[in-house]
Structure 1
Amino acid sequence: MKIALLGTGFGQAHAAVYAARGDVEVVMFGRDAQKTAKVAGQFGFASSTDTDAAFEDASFDLVDVCLPIPLHAPYVLRALEADKHVLVELPLAGSLDDAQRVVDAAARSDKHVFVDMFERFIPANQALFDAVRDGVHGRLEQLTLWNLTAHLWPGASLGLKVLPLEAMHSDMDIITRTLGLPRETSVTTVARDEDSGAVDATFRFDGAAARSSVSSLLPKAWGARGGYTATFEHGVLDASSTMGFDGKPTGTVTRYTADGTHELDLPPADQYTAMIGHVMDVLRGEADNRIAPDSVLDALRLTLDLDEKVNGAR
């Protein structure tokens, strides 16, 4: 499998996974030749500034788009037109119209489109999805999600302008997958400066409520921490995770019921490794696509609504 990896920023998270695999050949593409060569060299990859080659070179099987959000939908569409499979960072697009264009193009194509909904591969989240699907604790009545982080990515803004689309989209996916779309959304924000802030959003459903809190106001010593509390009719699932400077998270999920307290035995998994592993499984015909573009529309709709409440119409 030959992969054109577009982007030297967040693309490094994907690059680290590819570098650990023995079944892919990767060329990293970027605008700055010196920077691109330096980053690509850290992973043992070739580099290029000729982005057109990612689409025009017939030897590339998959285009991996890790570029700014406005380029997501256009580059996915270009990849499909070039008869390539494509993996795109979340969110799929900056508007529902662009997202729908991708969905329609993917439906017409025999190529796969994958959206990096990495949170679907986190074992703690899978435990929540399974509990809702199987109804083992009755109906989900209240869901609280939280993510509090320091600035662990040099140069990256974590201010109000970017938090909804780039930091809360995964929570919106969890909410819509477990409760659907809400009847009402309300938002409270705090801004320390352009690059640091917090968003607290609450969502009303028929017979249920949800909340998502994200903050980048923490000191570096804090690292990144997050989790959820899911309250069902007959039990609670409580998850927490911590990520330090090594970038390797640890986490637990505890179940509380009338029978007592039980810590779930979950398999260890890195979400990006699992996501890219799933992409490869699908391309080999060994799995069905769990992160296709049509599966993310509700989450994107809620994310864009949240973004408008935080930042106004763009």
Structure 2
Amino acid sequence: MLTKYRSIYSVSFAPLYIESLPIRYPLTLYFYEHDFIITHIHKNILELLNQPNSFTDILLSTMICYYILKRPLMKGDRNMKIGVLGTGFGAYHVELYSQIKDVDTIYVFGRNSEKLENLKSKFGIQIVTDIDEIMETNDIDLVDLCLPNALHRKYAIQALEHGKHVFCETPVAYSMAEAIAMQNAKQKSGKQLMVDLFLRFEHAYEILADITQKGEYGNIHKIQIQRYTPPYWGDLGKTKIVTDLMMHDIDFISYLLGMPNKIEATKTVGKEGQCAVSALCSYDNVFAENNSSSMMPNTYPFAVSYEVIYDHAVVRYYEDGYQDHMDTKLTVFTDGCRKDLPLLDNNCYDKAIHYALDMIQTTEKPKNDISDALVSLEMALKIKDLIL
């Protein structure tokens, strides 16, 4: 659940402002509990980037000084070593790590020699065909776990026992027992175990979390959140759709509201076993409706959306992803006006990885900690039980 009065933002500024400064770019800034600066960036980022003026220069200088004070290690100074397990979605993680100057070496474990050689030619990675080699390499800072979900428990625990931080793909596990074992290993090791709860880093969802946390439009009363897809992703039938598709939105509901008092769910199964599920999570004077479907026709976009009712406003967002373009819009409706909010064109997966690399430098609890993933997993498993 959100911690009140604590905000974390990551904003990458255009090279236009950085070229003349004696620091490397793109510059990532993190601000803690500086609401004036955060709010100004949050609501006026496009104006800041497109209309330079003396106030902008002063503001940017202030933020850069703050960054230097809070983050003495500049980009490219940390020489980090990463071990990536898996060459499926792990290949995309490798691409993201290869663009981070803090990352000096990337070791990649896989069983497909063609994929490994391709990654080596593109990104200069170190090929590993024995997981033990990654576990026993002492100077690897972080193990990024992109293996099949059933293997998460085994290799997360093994990495933690070898003194390594872990960044694990979602879902963290398929059972509470497995996830709790991972959490126990994390606590024993003193290392970070983070989960790729990527919606927490998606800009439209960051805005919603900020609005909710600050009570900008009063109390929240209803969330409707949706995720619809054509059958692109293989088996998303009744045994997989909750943990492999709905999980992302379930996690965001838990991030905003915590564990519900009551969960109800229903499903329908269509052709080739694809499925649609609707879940209702009830809290004190607020409820969240979560709808997901893998039954959409091939011409339908990969579509995500939310609509949230507050005392004094409705906030509505949609993203329709087609093969050749994407349509997005975030709008706030009040009695007095309708306002479209600007959205940054950033990558939530990239932000989550940058955040993970920062958090392994601290002992603070991350906002994507294994304990947060346990809450959303428990909710997901309850929904799954209701529809089976």
TM-score above 0.5: yes
Alignment of 1:1-314 (within 5 A): 1-24=80-103, 25-153=105-233, 156-193=234-271, 196-245=274-323, 251-285=328-362, 289-311=366-388
Deviates more, 1:116-125 or 1:203-212: 203-212
- Structure 2 length normalisation: TM-score? 0.74
Percent of residue pairs identical: 30
Q: More relative contact order in 1 or in 2 (CA 8 Å, sep 6+)?
A: 1
| 1:264, distance to aligned residue in structure 2 (A) | 1.4
Structure with the higher fraction of residues in strand conformation: 1
| 1:300, distance to aligned residue in structure 2 (A) | 1.4
Distance 1:279 1:270 in 2: 14
The AA in structure 1 aligned to 2:279 is A
Distance 2:229 2:176 in 1: 28
Q: Point out where structure 1 has 5 or more consecutive residues left out of the alignment.
A: none
Do the aligned partners of 1:37 and 1:48 also contact (CA within 8 Å) in 2?
Answer: no
SS at match of 1:296: helix
The number of residue pairs the alignment matches comes to: 308
| 1:285, distance to aligned residue in structure 2 (A) | 4.3
The AA in structure 2 aligned to 1:231 is I
SS at match of 1:209: strand
* 1:18-37 per-position Cα deviation (integer Å, ceiling 9, x unaligned): 13223322122112333433
Distance 1:59 1:176 in 2: 35
Deviates more, 1:276-285 or 1:236-245: 276-285
Deviates more, 1:14-23 or 1:192-201: 192-201
Give 1 or 2 for the bigger CA radius of gyration. 2
Deviates more, 1:173-182 or 1:126-135: 173-182
* 1:216-243 per-position Cα deviation (integer Å, ceiling 9, x unaligned): 2223332311110001111111011122
* 1:78-122 per-position Cα deviation (integer Å, ceiling 9, x unaligned): 111001111100122222222222222222323211110011001
Q: Point out where structure 2 has 5 or more consecutive residues left out of the alignment.
A: 1-79
Change (3 A) 1:140 1:113: same
Do the aligned partners of 1:230 and 1:238 also contact (CA within 8 Å) in 2?
Answer: yes
The AA in structure 2 aligned to 1:15 is V
Do the aligned partners of 2:266 and 2:386 also contact (CA within 8 Å) in 1?
Answer: no
Distance 1:243 1:41 in 2: 30
- Structure 1 length normalisation: TM-score? 0.90
Change (3 A) 1:250 1:56: farther
